[in-house]
Amino acid sequence: MREQTLIDGSESFTVSVRESQKPSILVLFAVGGGGNPERHVTLLESLAQSGCTVVAPHFQRLASLTITEEELMLRARRLSLTLDPFVKPGTIVVGIGHSIGAAMLIALAGGQMWLGPGRRVNISADTRLNRLALLATPTGFFQVPGALDTVKSPITIWVGSEDDITPPSQSEWFIQAMPDSQAVDIHVVAGAGHFSFMDQMPPGVVEPLKNKQSFLQALSGELCKFVK
């Protein structure tokens, strides 16, 4: 793994890069509220070992559970900017995201993101994304009629049965709201919580899974199959 610095206007940001020789698949990883993608090291390393190049921008930790329009716009913009140096003709781009990162990928795939009545967040779609894998996804941003009508990417969703932040009902609603529900599949992981998809848990959070590392290895294997 190496780190690369990219420019966003007058500011810069860091991207973790895991390169594969002559890759045909590029994975864009969108981290959750903690901001550090290296807390998902098992998944990122597995994707790279399977032959993908993996790029994962770092963000500042979200200070509040109530995310602002400015924070959403910044994350969307930097996710797209991250692709620019790596996408070549013929490259297949797969987005994988956790929590707010998963929601950002839906927006980049064409979903209309809303913070409330009359408060649409104007995020431009990035047509380079071919398919999405979403982990513990908050879908409340899209619960406006027609908000998902232009999302055409094949999607796989993973959520923990014990997730009390983005419970399975949110993902089940998402499938029903998609114009082509056949393009979406869902995996509800028995006993898993919102942060079970991370190697490094947030401070003070207790992991509900007893077989955490085995789960992460199995999840990584399934996502490598989906990506390739």
What's the confidence (pLDDT) of residue 21? 76
CATH number of the domain to which 60 belongs: 3.40.50.1820
Q: What is the pLDDT of residues 21-59, one digit of tens each?
A: 767 799 999 999 999 999 999 999 999 999 999 999 999
What's the confidence (pLDDT) of residue 66? 86
Report the chain's mean pLDDT, rounded to a whole number. 95
What's the confidence (pLDDT) of residue 23? 75
What's the confidence (pLDDT) of residue 226? 96
What's the confidence (pLDDT) of residue 213? 95
81-106-165-121 Cα dihedral, nearest 10 degrees: 70
Residue 179 reports pLDDT greater than 80:
yes
Residue 55: domain span: 2-227
Q: Which helix (H) or strand (E) holds 71?
A: helix 69-83
What's the confidence (pLDDT) of residue 70? 96
Q: What is the pLDDT of residues 101-155, one digit of tens each?
A: 999 999 999 999 999 999 999 999 999 999 999 999 999 999 999 999 999 999 9
Structural domains in the chain (count)? 1
Q: What distance in Å separates the CA atoms of residue 124 and residue 80, rounded to the nearest whole number?
A: 10
Proportion of the chain above pLDDT 90, given as a percent: 91
Structure tokens at 14: 């860091």
Q: What distance in Å separates the CA atoms of residue 133 and residue 125, rounded to the nearest whole number?
A: 17
Q: What is the pTM of this model?
A: 0.96
What's the confidence (pLDDT) of residue 173? 95
Residue 65 reports pLDDT greater than 90:
no
Task: Name beta bridge partners: 94.
Answer: 27, 131
